[in-house]
Amino acid sequence: MKRIQRILSASLFVLAACTPGPTGPVSPPQAAVAPVASASSATPPAAPAPVAENPLLHASTLPFQYPPFDKIHDSDYAPAFEAGMADQLKEVAAITHNSEPPTFENTIVALERSGALLTRTSKVFFNLNAANTDDLMQKVETDMAPKLAAHQDAILLDPALFARVDAVYQQRDKLGLDAESAQLLDRYEKMFVRAGARLSDADKATLKKMNEELSTLTTRFRQNVLKATKNGAVVVDDVKELDGLSQEQIGAAAEAAKARGLAGKWVITLQNTTIQPPLEQMNNRALRERVFKASVARGDGGPEDTTAAVAQIVELRAKKAALLGYPNFAAWSLAEETAQTPEAVNKMLGELGPAALTKAKEEARDIQKQIDSDVKATHAKPLKLEPWDWAYYAAKVRKAHYDVDDAEVKPYFEMNRVLQDGVFYAAHELYGLTFQERKDLPVYQPDVRVYEVHDSDGSVVGLLLLDYFKRDNKQGGAWMDTLVDQSTLLGQKPVVINNLNIPKPADGQPALLTFDEVTTMFHEFGHALHGLLSATKYPTLSGINVPPDFGEFPSQFNEMWTRDPSVLAHFAKNYTTGAPMPKALFDKVLKAQNYGQGYATLEYVEAAMLDQSWHQIPAAKAPPAAKVMAFEADALKADHVAYAPVPPRYHTTYFNHIFGGGYEAAYYAYIWSEVLARDAGEWFREHGGLTRANGDRLRAMVLSRGRTKEPSVLFHDFYGKAPDIKPLLEYRGLTLPTTKKK
């Protein structure tokens, strides 16, 4: 996942909307929020009295404006947020009241420079709130979410400010702007208009109230999902129940129990997805069922219930879209994406859904045969394939067909070697980058590692933080974000972070990865490269500030190097002997990757269609909380993808991507971007593969460009033609159903 924040304008404001997706305890109160003064008001609100020792109130003196994590305390955030909002309103008021006629420099560039304190505070807070939260941080998030939404509206819905922006925009053809500046001006005009700048005063007041309510509801959803995920962990009393798990996994479960004060027990913690990784290895069917049911129960009732928040979010988003002149929220959201329309998304998902379902049913038949064979051999009672059985028996089928399993493969994928000799190696070969670990910079958690990134000429590119291990106070999934955005206007080099959720091994044990986890490491590093290699002037257009359906392209493209023989040979070595992974074994791993693509594609398409179903309905059809799960079931049936053995990758009640922020009506982005990624991979193969020339071309034409051009143009410039879905289908081993001629 690209990031946990949807940053609509990197310096103008930061919208607090987290995902990995994808955090905590009590539901936030529906407290009234004091109105935020208009940015054009004569007397902007005064900032709270600054606290001298609050490090957030001043630009960091560390290299690259790296945050002084060792000096930041939870009590610093709220004052810094308040001061940051007040400061930015003063800056914006100065722009609005400028007696000079509006120009690109005194209006647009001035807005780009505004909000440094608020941006700095938001970057640090939302990154740490996702990766290392606590009760006080979650209270700050709850308190600040509606205030930040109101602050955003105070700027974007200010008529006097918009008049200046629009005046510059109307003169755009006469200004002689360079291409990047012209793109920035266009983005600002669209940003204001989409936010409601042309609405009547009455409608603006309604919209402001909606935005504040939505910010509170998405915060509640996010926090309840984190708490439900933590509390849903399965406690095991007898180690014999863990039969099938490796000693490393059992040790990690013991460590997780010890961390919860349950020494002598074992805890199976939950990941953010529906299917939990240990299900593949657990021999105990009853425990598999417990783990699965604990996973799908998250948010559906109880103290961490999310159905009420979902119902309100869906209704409010639909009303907001209608107020802005769109038939539904998806239409409003997708207008800014590469896909542009719900129809385009529906068409793509509608093509993939039947292919995935057909393939999944073929896989299910093979799995049921395996179950029947096992039952016959053990004289047990007949078993029908259930969702908690799929991964377990699919692994057996895969081993039978390809003679490979994770226990055989994982010793060749020790985490540090994968990082140094795989991830970093590929980046060096493609882009000339080198990575030097820095232990002199403070970190917010002992497991975090910091690297200084150097270009081929020795110049410094920026900083990379890696936070790879799972914690109870860390949201699930894997994601990338920025702590400092690259911008030549602001003299900033990028500081980026990758987060994974690898179970931390017991002391002295290695972290051994599955091939899927290796792929995830390369994926998130692709996002990191998109941020690190940015070379733009303006922060709004920098790095990862692109639509989600293009933002996943660099990350999914970077996955291809996990399959490249030259990269693999560099890192796939046995962690005890140093022996390289036998070619025959990896050939089997690659062949086995296509096995299960029906399941993997279907669970994703189900979730993507579910996202569209929630966001393509008008407000009048939004279901009440009591019918949220019924709506989900009906939507999957209506889209002809409901299949009991294959549940959606995320059920509605813990679908953080779309209800926690950032990917609402845009979860389809992963498959849309993957079409681009596989096309780019095909281009690389046709042009010599892993070479500096190819890497430099991608860097110059895509990775460094941010949104200085529209994404579809950037891709076409690189690829030379329109996207083609065939390489993706080949990669996944799928074929589209053929249409019979009449």
The tokens 């039952």 sit on which residue? 375
Question: Helices 135-156 & 74-96, crossing angle to 10 degrees?
Answer: 0
Residue 26: name the closest of 213, 228, 214, 271 by CA.
228
Q: Is 396 helix (H, G, I), strand (E, B) or coil?
A: helix
Helices assigned H by DSSP within 306-461: 307-323, 329-334, 342-378, 387-402, 406-409, 415-418, 424-431
Q: Are 280 and 391 in contact (CB under 8 A)?
A: yes
Contact 41, 93 (CB under 8 A): yes
Residue 39 and residue 158 in contact, taking contact as beta carbons nearer than 8 Å: yes
- The gap from C-alpha 55 to its chain's centroid, in whole angstroms, comes to 28
- Helix, strand, or coil here: 559? helix
Tokens read off for 633? 């079931």
Alpha-carbon distance values, 176 to 101, 108, 180, 182 (Å): 17, 15, 12, 9
Half-sphere exposure of residue 634, counting CA atoms within 13 Å on the CB side? Answer: 8
Tell me how long the chain is: 742
Rounded Cα distance, 424 and 434, in Å: 7
Structure-token pair, residue 665? 């009506």
Catalytic, out of 141, 524, 606, 664: 524
- For 263-272, letters b (16+ CB in 10 Å) and e give eebbbbbbbb
The pair phi, psi for residue 56, each rounded to 5°, is: -75, -20
| Cα dist from 479 to 5, 403, 424, whole Å | 10, 32, 18
DSSP-assigned beta bridge partners for residue 451: 437, 464
- Spatial CB neighbours of 377, under 8 Å, sequence gap ≥ 6: none
Q: What is the DSSP letter of 539?
A: G
Task: For residue 62, give Cα distances in angstroms to 131, 312, 326, 535, 670.
Answer: 22, 43, 46, 22, 36
Closest by alpha carbon to 307, among 611, 631, 22, 621? 631
Closest CA to 570 of 681, 685, 418: 418
Q: Write down the residue that tokens 């950037």 correspond to.
A: 714
Residue identified by tokens 């033609």 is: 721
Give, as one character, the DSSP assignment of residue 512. B
Q: Is 517 annotated in the active site?
A: no
What residues contact 604, with CB distance under 8 A and at least 6 apart?
Answer: 649, 670, 671
Judged by DSSP in three states, 501 sits in: strand
Give the residue numbers marked as catalytic.
524
